[in-house]
Structure 1
C-alpha cells in the first residue's frame, strides 16, 4: 500500500508549571550554566519546549528552536516534533496519525494547521500546499501567481540560475575552484574579536612575534561574511574586520522572540528591521551601505515572499536563509526567478517569482552522529579534536570530491565555548590543510555571487577577486568612543529586569540606545 506524506504545522506541547526566575532566566538555567555547579553547554527551559539556553562564560543566553522543532537535551539540538525528547519540559511526542484517502491509500499526516488563508476566506491550508501544482483551496487561490518551473533555455547567467547541483559555466569538477564561505552569525562581540576571529583569520608568523593574515592561492587574505545583529555588537570591531576585507550582511536589529514574529511580519516590518540594521552597520561601523547587499533571517525564519519582496525593493543582491538537504551532490546558488526545488525546511518559503535575487543555500552538513545540521554548533558536539576534524573534513569532501559547490562553514561563538579549545585547534588545523590546496579559496558570499555570474576556472582565478581595493577602506581610529546605555528593557531583558549595553565606535555616541527606526525615517 502506497504511503503519502502531508505536511502542515504542529503545536508544541509544553509543561504547565512556571519555574521560578531570577534576573529573567530560570534558576535551573543559572545552575546548569554555573561552572561550579552544572558546568553545562546548554540548559533546557522547564516551561517552553522550544526554548533553551546557551551557557556563555557561565551565563545562560536564551535561544529558540526554528520552526516547529523541539529542543532535545540528550542530542543538544532541535529535532522534528516526532523525533524530539525533552523530559525537562514534559514534552509529549505525538503519534503520527494515519488516515485512509478516497482512493484507499494510507496518508501519514505529519502536521495539522491552518497557515495559508484562501482568498475566499472559507478555508485555509498548510504552507506546503501552496503552489504545489494542485489546488487545495476551493477557489484555487493557492495556485495563483506561482513561479513557473525553471526553464534552462531562458534562465541563463549572469542574472538567472535554476535550482541545480549542476556546475555552472560548463566546467568540469577538476576545473572548478572550491569556494569556501566562512560565515559568522549574531553579534560581533569584542571578546570574540580578540580571542576567536584573530586566531582564525590570522596565524602566527614564522618569527612567532605577531599574527599575519591567512591567505588564498592568489595572495589575497582569507575573508568571511558576518551576519550581524545589533544588540551586543561592538562597532569598532565591525570597522576593523571590514577594513581587513571581510563582508557584513544584515541579521536584524532586535532578533526578537518568538520566531513566529518573523514568520508573520509584513514587508514594512522586515524593511524597518533590516534597513535599520544596515544603517547602524554603516553609521557606527563605517561599512558603506553599498557594500551591505545580503541578509540572513533571524532563526532562519522568513515570511516567505514578503521577505524576498523586501530584499528586492531595497536593493539587496542575495539572501542566505533557506536550508536544504540536497547535499550529495550539493546545490549551487540559484535565483528566485523560477520555482525552487531546494525544499522548504522552515516554512513559509517563496513561491512567487523574484528575478535577480540570489539564494546562497545553507547546504546541510552531516555530523558524526549521522544527522543533518546547518550551523556547525547545531551538529553533534565533538568530544575531542579528532572528532571535530572528522566533522570538518567529511563535509568539505562532500563538496570538493563531487561538484565543488560553494562550501559553507556557518559558525557561532558557542561552538568554541567550554570545549577545552579542541574545536578551535581543529578548525585552525583544518584551515592549514586547505591552505595546501591551490584550488581552494575562502571568499565572501558576495564574491560567490560574483563568481556565479561569470564562472572562472581555478587556473584563471589569480586577479579575479581584487583584494587591493580593501586598502582604500577606512581604518579603525586610534581611540574609539565607548558608548554606554542603562535600563535597557529589550529582550533578553524586560521591564522588571533591565540591563546595560555598551559598544565602541569611531562615530559619536548616539544620545539613546539605537533601535528599530520607523520606515519613514530610513
Structure 2
C-alpha cells in the first residue's frame, strides 16, 4: 500500500510539473537528444547501455559482488570516529583495503579529517558547497549555478584538504534532487567521472548496473528532471532502492522507517536487502547513509559493524568506492582473476598540518575552518569565492 502511495505522489508531481520532465538546458546551449542505446556503437570501456546484464559476459557466480558504503554531508570531529572504527583494517578478498565514498558538503567540514580519509584509501566525492535546503534551487539549477556548487567545490576540496584534484571524480546532489541535463553536462565539462544521485525502485531485482549517459536510459525518473540529452563519457551509478518491512522504498538506509529495532532482526533485514543483488545479477549494492543515523541509536552502529563482519566472510564480496566500480566495469574480471592478480590502489603521499581559522561568512556570520593550508583565507570560502580570497 505504501509503495502505491509513493507512486501516486510521484504521478501527482509529474502532472503538476510537466515541464520538469522535459529537456533542460541553458539558453543558447543546444545538445543532441539521447536516442535508444545502440549496443553495436556503445562499447566498453567508454560506453555502456543501461541495463541489468552483467558487463563482460561474466556469469553471476564469477562476478564480484560490489558493495558501496557511502556517507553524506560534513566530515567532522563528531562523526570521524564512526568512520575510523567501521572502516579501518578491513580487507577485501584480494587483500586490498576496503574503500568507502564520502560525499562531502562544505559547511562545517574539517578538511584535515577529509585528508585523513583520503590518505587511508577512501574516496572523496562532492555534495555541494551550500547544500541549499530549497529543493527548487537544485531542480532548476543552471550550468553556472552547478559550476559554482561543484566545479568550484572540487577546487576548494583539493586546496583545503590537500588532495589531488584528479582524485575527485563523483558527486551526489543534495536531497537526491536531480537537475536534468545541466547536472550531467556540468560533470562532463569539469572532468567528473560519475553521478550517484539517480534513484530506481523499478530495477531492484534484478538490479540496474551503472551505465553511461550517451544514450537514453531505461531508468525511471523518480525525482525529475532527469537527463534527456546525449552526454558522453559520464557515468550514472543508480541508487537501487531498499525496501523496508512494510514495503516502503528508501534510497538512503536511514530513510527506511519500518525497520527492526533489535540488532539481530536489523542485521537479518540488511542481509535480506543485500541478497537481492548477491543471489541475483550482482548489480553493485549501495549502503547509503548519514552518520547521524548511528548517533540516534547505538544499536544501529553495532549492527552496521556486524553487517560488515558478515560481508567479510564472503569471498566474492568487495567493499569498494564508486570510481572503483566503474574501473571494474570498464575492464571486467572474474573473482578468481581479481584475487590472483590484485590491483590495490597506491597509498597517497601528501601530508596535512591542521590549521583552524576563525572567519566571517558573507559579511556577518562567524565560521571556523580547519584545513591543511598553513595560511588562513581572507574570508570563509563560499559560492563565488571558493578559496576565501575575497
Give TM-score scaled by structure 2 length.
0.90
d(CA) in 2 for partners of 1:362 and 1:375?
9
Q: Deviations over 1:119-141 (max 9, x none)?
A: xxxxxxxx34x47xxxxxxxxxx
Query: Which residue in 1 is equivalent to 2:216?
Result: 339
Secondary structure of the residue aligned to 2:128 is: coil
d(CA) in 2 for partners of 1:463 and 1:244?
24
d(CA) in 2 for partners of 1:438 and 1:261?
44
Does 2:278 match 1:392? no
Give the drift of 1:465: 5.6
Distance 1:247 1:438, change over 3 A: same
How much is the aligned-residue C-alpha RMSD, in angstroms? Answer: 2.4
d(CA) in 2 for partners of 1:484 and 1:398?
48
Secondary structure of the residue aligned to 1:512 is: coil
d(CA) in 1 for partners of 2:385 and 2:368?
22
Query: Which residue in 1 is equivalent to 2:337?
Result: 460
1:296·1:320 contact (CA, 8 Å) conserved in 2? yes
Query: Which residue in 2 is equivalent to 1:447?
Result: 324
Query: Which residue in 1 is equivalent to 2:62?
Result: 175
Question: Relative contact order (alpha carbons < 8 A, sep ≥ 6): 1 or 2 greater?
Answer: 2
- Show the 5 A alignment for 1:227-246: 227-246=103-122
Secondary structure of the residue aligned to 1:485 is: strand
Distance 1:285 1:402, change over 3 A: same
Give the drift of 1:368: 2.1
Q: Return 5+ residue gaps in structure 2 as ranges.
A: 24-30
Q: Select the residue among 184, 187, 191 that pairs with 2:71.
A: 184
Give the drift of 1:415: 1.4
When Rg is computed on C-alpha atoms for both structures, the one with the higher figure is 1
1:163·1:332 contact (CA, 8 Å) conserved in 2? yes
Q: Select the residue among 194, 197, 219 that pairs with 1:321.
A: 197
d(CA) in 2 for partners of 1:228 and 1:281?
9
d(CA) in 1 for partners of 2:265 and 2:212?
36
Query: Which residue in 2 is equivalent to 1:511?
Result: 378
Query: Which residue in 1 is equivalent to 2:27?
Result: none
Give the drift of 1:370: 1.8
Query: Which residue in 2 is equivalent to 1:158?
Result: 45
Give the drift of 1:363: 0.6
Does 2:16 match 1:113? yes
Give the drift of 1:109: 6.3
Q: Return 5+ residue gaps in structure 1 as ranges.
A: 1-74, 85-107, 117-126, 132-143, 203-212
Distance 1:215 1:274, change over 3 A: same
Give the drift of 1:113: 2.9
Give TM-score scaled by structure 1 length.
0.68
Secondary structure of the residue aligned to 1:198 is: helix
Does 2:167 match 1:291? yes
Distance 1:299 1:219, change over 3 A: same
d(CA) in 2 for partners of 1:506 and 1:216?
34
Answer 1 or 2: which has greater helix percent.
2
Does 2:247 match 1:370? yes
Secondary structure of the residue aligned to 1:417 is: helix
Give the drift of 1:227: 0.6
Q: Select the residue among 192, 196, 199 that pairs with 2:85.
A: 199
Distance 1:230 1:437, change over 3 A: same
Query: Which residue in 2 is equivalent to 1:124?
Result: none
